[in-house]
Amino acid sequence: MAGRAALALAMVCSALGAQTSPAPSPSPSPAPVLVPPLTPSAAADTSPVIKVGERVRLWQRVANSLSDPLKGTVTSLVPDSVGVRPDGLPTPVILPRQSITRVDVSGGLNSGSHLTSTLTGMLIGGLSGAVLGVIAGNLSGKNASKGAYYGGAAGLVIGGGIGYLSPGEAWRRAQLPP
C-alpha cells in the first residue's frame, strides 16, 4: 500500500515538474524527497505583461519615496524606457524603466465591483441625504429628525443607484516586458 502511495506521489510530482529521488529498494521506505524543479513552475509569477495601447497605472521612485500613481495609455516600450500618455494630456511622457517600481493594468473603465460601489454610494448618499434633511427640517421649522430620516432614505436609494451604475475600474498587477 505504501509503495503505491509513493508511486502516485512521484507521478503527481513529476507531472508538476518536481524531481524525486528514487527509492533504493522496493521495501517500504519514507516518502520521496521533493527537489524543486530547475525550470520555472506554474506557481511562478503569472502577472500579465503590459503592451502598447493598454491602459496602465504605474508608480516610480522619486527622491527615495514613491510617486503618486500615473494613469494613462502605453505609447512605447523600449529597452530603457516606457512611454505613457497620461489621462487628459495629448503628449506622452517617457519614464526610465529603472525608476518604475510597480505596474498595474486596467480591466476596463467599468470593471470594478458592483457590490462595493453600490455600498459606497449608499453610504455617501445616505449620510449626505440625512445631513441635508436635518438642515432642511431646521430651516423650515419642521421636524429635523423626520427630515434626516426621509433625506437619508432617499440618499440611500439614489446613492446606491449611482454607485451601481458606476463601478469604477479594477486593476491587476502586471509587469514590464523583458
Q: Which amino acid is at 174?
A: A
What is the rounded CA–CA span in Å between residue 77 and residue 84?
A: 9
**pLDDT of amino acid 26:** 52
Q: Which of 26-30, 154-158, 168-172 has the highest mean pLDDT?
A: 154-158
Q: How confident is the model at residue 170 (pLDDT cuts 50, 70, 90)?
A: confident
Question: Taking the model in full, what pTM does it have?
Answer: 0.53
Cell of 68: 503618486
Across 13-168, the runs of DSSP E, i.e. the strands, are: 19-20, 34-35, 55-62, 65-66, 70-78, 81-86, 93-96, 100-106
In the predicted structure, residue 76 carries a pLDDT above the cut 80: yes
Least confident of 63-67, 122-126, 133-137: 63-67
Q: What share of the chain is helix, strand, coil (3-state, %, to 5)?
A: 40, 25, 35
Domains and CATH numbers, the chain: 2-35 (no CATH), 55-104 (2.30.30), 114-172 (no CATH)
Q: How confident is the model at residue 168 (pLDDT cuts 50, 70, 90)?
A: confident
Least confident of 42-46, 121-125, 174-178: 42-46
In the predicted structure, residue 36 carries a pLDDT above the cut 50: no
Q: Which residue has the higher pLDDT, 55 or 63?
A: 55
